[in-house]
Amino acid sequence: MAMRVVVVGAGAVGGSLAVKLARAGHAVGVVARGAHLQAIRARGLRLQDPAGDETAQLQASDRPEDFGPQDLIVLGMKAHQIAPLLPRLGSMLQQDTVVLPAINGLPWWYFHGDTSPQALAADGSAARIACLDPDGSMAGALDLAHIVGCVVHSASEVTAPGVIKANGQYRYVIGEPAHPAQGTAGLSPRVEALAAALREAGCDPKPTARIRDAIWMKLIGNASFNPVAALTRARMDQICASPGLLDLVRGVMQELIALTRAYGCDPQVDAEKRIAIGRGIGPVKPSTLQDLERGRPLEVQPLLGAPVELARRAGIAMPLTEAMLALLTELDSRTQRAA
Whether 20 is catalytic is no
Of 254, 326, 256, 331, the residue nearest 297 (C-alpha): 331
Of 55, 101, 112, the residue nearest 75 (C-alpha): 101
Of 58, 17, 6, 16, the residue nearest 37 (C-alpha): 58
Helix (H) or strand (E) holding 181: none
Residues whose CB is less than 8 angstroms from the CB of residue 168 and which lie 6 or more positions away in sequence, other chains included? 49, 50, 51
Q: Is 323:251 a contact under the CB 8 Å cutoff?
A: no
Provide the terminal-to-terminal Cα distance of the chain, rounded to the nearest Å: 46
Which of 165, 218, 273, 285 is catalytic? The answer is: 218
Count Cα neighbours of 246 within 13 Å in the Cβ-side half-sphere.
Answer: 17
Q: Give the residue numbers marked as catalytic.
A: 218
